[in-house]
């Protein structure tokens, strides 16, 4: 039940990308602060999942992939889910503050507010809501960078956050394709991604091309350095090849790996 409410894999992914932002900063690594950063961001992401399910409990009942979540299945009360979400929100914010800086906690709170107050209701109204919602997933590396002592407007972390923004859009488009019937049943508008027999539609290919182009800029801006530059060409090359295939499964699986591979490259710094 806890796993369904907090979506731990998604929460851990947010923690990993926050660690990537921390490692990007040119300075000594404080293992205690790094651990606190990871824990704080994971807690905030889990809080966002719980509170999102509180707000979307009505449409969760209508979709096959979400009908067994704790709230629609009746395994958890509305009050219990709300208290759990708020507790994790406070805990995550406190961990980030105790790590020594206020700005990461403020950024985390702002991302959570954006996700719950703007994106969650907006996706019921327009298929373009993902363009706004993807901002939330781009914030964790900025939190990590600021936790290490950087500014949220420094160009290395802006580039990294921009890549994660570009990555999220096609990733969630393909997720919607997999569960299109569920989304229609819940009344959530979908972007038309298929055109005749072609797959993916041109807009998906264009977005993937932008992701490849952005990834190629990493060495030019010093985001990836030796020895990472030895392995770096494999990442955009793989993305480029994937964008040409016609298999939805291959594209979606490859996109799932992108944040992890990018973070591993940052470890090489």
Smallest Cα–Cα separation from 166: which of 210, 118, 219?
210
Neighbour count for residue 1 (Cβ, 10 Å): 11
Q: Which fold has domain 2-267?
A: Tetracycline Repressor; domain 2 (1.10.357)
Predicted pLDDT at 260? 74
Q: Are 49 and 6 in contact (CB under 8 A)?
A: yes
Report how far apart the first and last C-alpha atoms of the chain are (Å, whole number).
39
Q: What sections of 25-154 are H helices per DSSP?
A: 31-55, 57-60, 78-98, 103-113, 120-122, 129-147
Cα distances (angstroms) measured from residue 108 to each of 21, 184, 250: 14, 31, 32
pTM of the model: 0.87
Predicted pLDDT at 120? 93
pLDDT tens digit sequence for 152-176? 999 889 988 998 898 888 888 878 8
Q: Could you state, in order of their start, the residue ranges of all structural domains in the chain?
A: 2-267
What are the structure tokens assigned to 79, written together?
A: 């009050």
Q: Which residues of the chain have pLDDT under 50?
A: 1-3, 197-198
Predicted pLDDT at 175? 81
């Amino acid at each position: 039940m806890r796993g369904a409410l907090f979506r731990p894999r998604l929460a851990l992914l947010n923690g990993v990308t926050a660690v990537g932002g921390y490692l990007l900063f040119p300075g000594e690594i404080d293992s205690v602060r790094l651990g606190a950063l990871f824990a704080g961001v994971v807690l905030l992401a889990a809080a966002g999942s719980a509170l999102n399910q509180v707000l979307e409990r009505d449409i969760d009942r209508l979709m096959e992939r979400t009908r067994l979540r704790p709230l629609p299945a009746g395994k958890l009360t509305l009050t219990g889910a709300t208290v759990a979400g708020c507790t994790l929100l406070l805990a995550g914010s406190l961990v980030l503050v105790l790590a020594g800086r206020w700005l990461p906690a403020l950024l985390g709170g702002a991302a959570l507010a954006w996700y719950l107050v703007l994106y969650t209701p907006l996706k019921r109204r327009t298929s373009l809501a993902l363009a706004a919602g993807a901002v939330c997933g781009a914030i964790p590396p900025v939190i990590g960078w600021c936790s290490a002592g950087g500014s949220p407007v420094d160009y290395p972390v802006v580039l990294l956050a921009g890549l994660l923004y570009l990555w999220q859009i096609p990733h969630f488009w393909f997720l919607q394709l997999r569960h299109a019937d569920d989304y229609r049943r819940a009344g959530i508008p979908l972007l038309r991604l298929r055109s005749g027999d072609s797959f993916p539609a041109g807009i998906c290919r264009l977005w993937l091309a932008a992701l490849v182009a952005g990834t190629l800029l990493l060495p030019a801006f010093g985001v990836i350095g030796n020895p990472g530059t030895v392995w770096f060409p494999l990442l955009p090359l793989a993305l480029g090849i994937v964008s040409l295939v016609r298999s939805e499964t291959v594209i979606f699986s490859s996109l799932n790996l992108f944040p992890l591979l990018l973070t591993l490259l940052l470890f090489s710094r």
